[in-house]
Amino acid sequence: MIPQERQISEQLIDDKRIALVSFTGSTDSGRRISQKVAHRLGRCLLELGGNNAIIIDESANLKLAIPAVVFGAVGTAGQRCTTTRRLFVHEKLYDKVLHDLSKVYQQIKIGDPLNERHHMGPLIDQSSVELYLCAINELKQSGAEIVCGGHKIGEKGYYVAPTLITHVDHFHPIVQRETFAPILYVFKVQSIKQAIDLQNQVSQGLSSSLFSQNQQHIELFLSASGSDCGIANINLGKKIQEEAVKLVRMLGNHI
């Protein structure tokens, strides 16, 4: 945020005439704004960070799931509050899903987002690139495996490689935080219950998705003991499916 915009924002936050402040952004900024507005007895409507997850169970249709994962994790270069950041895959499908994702990630064209041949554009600024690189370095130190990506692209601009990460502890601080960049953590799970439990064990519950053809799993995911998120998708909505399939068609038939 440039200084002039920050000054205007601070004026809005502090103005007692404004009874309700609506804010979309990071959890840290939302916490600070909430405290300042509450101090003057105002109210806040906050849409904050999302450490969002997709679950793929053993019955999932991968023709739907793989495009949706790529679209969710790579679209807008990971700079969206509903970006997919964690992927839980049943052990029976884990190897295939990781193989298919790796093939697709290697085909993603990165560059000017106004060029229709490109699938992913840049991060917003240099500080975002530095946060991405710091996260990659922290992951390397933790012993995580970088399957794809993990580096800056070129000297000019703010382009980075979309990144797949495996063999990282779900409770490591880097996974528990929201890195606003195209980094996707892939975890192997043994059951739908384990996947839901892990999905819910972060502090940012915004969006979630389940790919399944098992009605019992779907009902559990949507129940009070299921997804603890504001958004719970099942095999995603039609519009998102269309956009995801369009992305994969652009990439070619690599699934």
81 a catalytic residue: yes
Dist CA 103 CA 199 (whole Å): 25
91 catalytic residue (yes or no): no
Q: Where do the DSSP E strands lie in the chain?
A: 20-24, 43-47, 52-56, 84-90, 145-148, 163-166, 183-189, 207-211, 231-234
| Closest residue by Cα to residue 170 from 190, 182, 146, 186 | 186
Catalytically annotated residue among 44, 81, 138, 243: 81
Q: Give the distance, in angstroms, between the CA of residue 150 and the centroid of all CA atoms in the same chain.
A: 16
> By the 8 A CB rule, do 50 and 73 touch?
no
Best CA proximity match to 50, nearest among 71, 70, 79, 22: 79
Phi and psi angles of residue 54, each rounded to the nearest 5 degrees, phi first: -120, 135
Q: Which residue out of 5, 44, 47, 243 is catalytically annotated?
A: 47
- The rounded distance, in Å, linking the Cα atoms of 75 and 64 is 16
Among all residues, which ones are annotated catalytic?
47, 81
